[in-house]
Amino acid sequence: MRLSDFDDWARAHHGIITLDASGLSRAAWYRAINAGTIEQLHPHVARMPGTPHTVEQRIIAAVEAVGTGCLASHRSAAQLWGIPRPADDPVDVLLTSTRRDVRLDGVVVHRTRDLARLTPQRRYAVACTDVVRTLLDLGAVDQPGLHDAVGHAITNGLVTLEALDAAATEHARPGRVGIPAVRDAIADWSIDDKPTDTMLQFTFDRLARRHGLPPLEFRPTVGGLTVDARVSGTAVLVECDAWTDRRRNHDRVERSRVVDATLAAAGWIVVRCTYRVVTTRPSATAKRILAAIERHAAAPAPDAA
């Protein structure tokens, strides 16, 4: 048996191969595992040696291991939909069949009587819940993180506030513990037009890491004002405005202009953007920041006091 025999299937499944897809007998499958030709992750599911260890690989391995009637859900589905999640999240899968005693290392297997909105979606070749159902389920396992998740989904056009509100009403029933958290997040987002500090830091850190920016200092105080981020060792500041342009009002625009003028007078360079632009056009945002750094490289950074 050669590794190349599995290449096509594994490449399309994040380096994962299953017993069924391999076409091997059980005896040959276990010989391959013992020989180190493949690395078993779950019963009848293995990874190809040398393939990257990724979150998507862990998720698809769990979904394939559970089999029919299984979808990536909750925190894992949020990750697949591009909603920022902690790196140490467990893998969540939702089992819609009546099978019992499904247990996998590192995997949380959820069961539900609420079978609405469970048409499988495919994200990164993984079967998962749709984004609305994902947010409803996320409220049951991570209430503190739901506010940022809802904001991110709305900002990036994955769902509307109205659609999520309608779904929360549709799914409300005794025992559906995530629904009150979703309603709280909807109410919070309806009156709050800027990402939380946690989400801003995550977003700026990821922007710097992925696009080769110098380190960013988060929420520093410069010139007596607290700003969202500063490019370390430079005069460049990054200010992230409301979630979307459409919610900005005249007073807020005027306040931003006063802040920018005050900082500019003290020698600071402000790159202002919206959270939506940072998350949907990160490369363009990074180029703007780099251009500002290059343009003012010769100028010493002003006193931050």
- Decide: residue 299, CB within 10 A, 0-12 exposed, 13-18 middle, 19+ buried: exposed
What does residue 80 show for φ and ψ, rounded to 5 degrees?
A: -65, -30
Fold of 197-295: Endonuclease; Chain A (3.40.960)
Q: pLDDT of the chain along its 305 residues, tens only?
A: 455 566 777 778 888 999 988 888 999 999 999 999 899 999 999 999 888 899 999 999 999 999 888 999 999 999 999 999 998 999 999 998 766 678 899 999 999 888 888 999 999 989 999 999 999 999 999 999 998 899 889 888 899 888 898 888 888 887 788 888 998 888 777 655 566 677 678 778 888 888 999 988 988 998 888 898 999 888 999 988 765 544 445 666 777 888 888 888 888 999 988 877 887 788 899 999 999 998 887 666 777 76
Supply the pLDDT for residue 246.
46
Alpha helices in the chain (DSSP H): 7-11, 19-22, 26-35, 55-66, 74-80, 131-141, 143-155, 161-171, 178-191, 197-210, 250-265, 275-280, 282-295
Rounded CA separation 135/129 (Å): 10
- Torsion from C-alpha of 293, 294, 298, 301, nearest 10 degrees: 0
Supply the pLDDT for residue 196.
67
Give span(s): CATH 3.40.960.10, the chain: 197-295
Q: DSSP characters for 183-252? A: HHHHHHHHH--S--HHHHHHHHHHHHHHTTPPPEEES-EETTEE-SEEETTSSEEEEE--SSGGG--HHH
The one-letter amino acid at 96: T
Tokens representing 249 are: 């009002």
Supply the pLDDT for residue 270.
92
The pTM (predicted TM-score) of the whole model is: 0.67
- Say how many CA atoms lie within 13 Å of 180 toward its Cβ: 4
Rounded CA separation 41/33 (Å): 10
Supply the pLDDT for residue 305.
64
